[in-house]
Structure 1
Amino acid sequence: MHLDRTRRQTAAYILERACPSGGFCFYRLDEPTPHDTYYALASLEILGVSHASGRTAAFLRSLQDADGSFGPLPRTYFTLLSLGLLGVPPVHDPGKAVAALLRQVLASNRPPRPFQAQTYRDKDRACALSTATGLRLEPAMIDALQAMALRYGHPDGGFGVDGPSLDETRAAVSALGRIGRPPEPRGLAAFVRSCEDSTFGFTGKPGSSLPYLEYIHAGVCLCAALGTQPAFAAACGETVLRCRKASGGFARTETGIATLENTSLALQALACLNHGETKRGIATPP
């Protein structure tokens, strides 16, 4: 029901941002980025809308160096996952480059070095790349990745640098799942329930009033990962739909500016609410 209310207009919003040279750009210039391209392709797949992908695949494949690298972690993540959505392989084997990125993520966040909030997101992206490329992780690396995730685990079942938050918890849970070390579900479920809100569906932290789109997305995804439904599913859907703009895209908040990233998060959340299926939403976090 929720997706039916936005399908046609949102598909038009996305396709209008396709670049003549391939890929997508949310501000509608011929300046495609892997970031925008990934979120556009992920959204179109949810909507069941086709895209003439030849130029987009060529654009993405052109970003790879001869040694298999696509550059920094974000660019590698968005490029390889975009190619995966298109069913097109990269020109060169990226396995060694992905392994190097995993080592960088681990090396940059060992105590006593500060652990940044975005580290959970980066860790999840690195683990996603290992899955996407079929990279076999050694037991010692799996142990290190698990320890890194648990560094800012909290007694209430959540994860976060400055106290537990839904979005950091979603990224941590996703990463742990990818390496076969999922957290204990009872504590996680209790934390997710503590973030539920009858007006907005979810807030970012227990007792707060932060109904940003990424928190609704995280809460819905975590509920489905736990095999449950949000207590206030209707409120979740309405909060997401209030972020929809006249263009058909979605913003982070009701008064924000639509982007391809937020549009993808919104569609993932609505699809979860429609069908109770979040495997794609959890496996392809922002």
Structure 2
Amino acid sequence: MDDVLGYKGKRVIVTGCFSGMGEATAKMLLDLGAEVHGLDFKDSSLPLASFNNVDLRDPASIEAGVKAIGGKVDALFNCAGLPQSFPPMDVMKVNFIGLRHLTQQVLPMLNQGGAIANIASTGGMGWSRRIPTNMEFVTTQGWDAAIAWCEANMDTIAEGYSFSKENVIVWTQFMGAQLIKKGYRINCTLPSPTQTPMMAKFHEASGKDVVDAAAEPMGRYSTPEEQAGGLVLLNSKLASIINGVVLPVDGGFMGGVVTGQVDLSVMMRRSQPAQ
């Protein structure tokens, strides 16, 4: 079959490749003939070109992991993430601050035409209601400034998850307009609830009924492989003009919300702690 997606022989980096969407993305890229380099907090068992342990809560760990890969790369897949059951600052570091720092380390390694795909979430769909706040945060300069902003705005951070994903969305759109001038693209996906090892944590933190409401109108959770497809498409040569896009990969959830076919009342209530 023709290499229609353009990954054969390309060097790519996948974070979060131990399990879930990141593992599924790495497997798909391997099947497509890419040279896959993995980064994760936990060891990966995949036949990768290289693997390095990285803690996205630690800038030195991020820098060492990226340096160990070295050379030029063609694509970055930011798939690592934490659910809201972890401490809010850990969630913020892994889901946004660490993602941003790692991306900044990889940018000098990107070949012309290189692309970046980030995983956000439908849980961050409130971004459009507080863009000034999001922009103030995502334009902080460096790791320490981002941490200081969070520590000064813990009421805004709240549980960490929703705000972190809002900022992946806003930062992706902001950087899209910046990076395209340099010959790079950046996009993100908004997955609906996906059957990964983290799902039990989402049920515990938000309540199964809240999570299930976000799986409408499809009526089921997506698979990691389905989510990987969206990411792989965004960074492929077929998507060469797609940039700064926030792509719902959700079985029609966002469309259902916009057209009044999905009831958000369950999702918007404050979920009760599991008994």
Give TM class, smaller chain. Answer: under 0.3
Structure 1 or 2: larger strand share? 2
Q: Normalising to structure 1: TM-score of the pair? A: 0.25
Structure 1 or 2: larger helix share? 1
Q: Which protein has the larger Cα radius of gyration, Structure 1 or Structure 2?
A: 1
Q: Normalising to structure 2: TM-score of the pair? A: 0.26
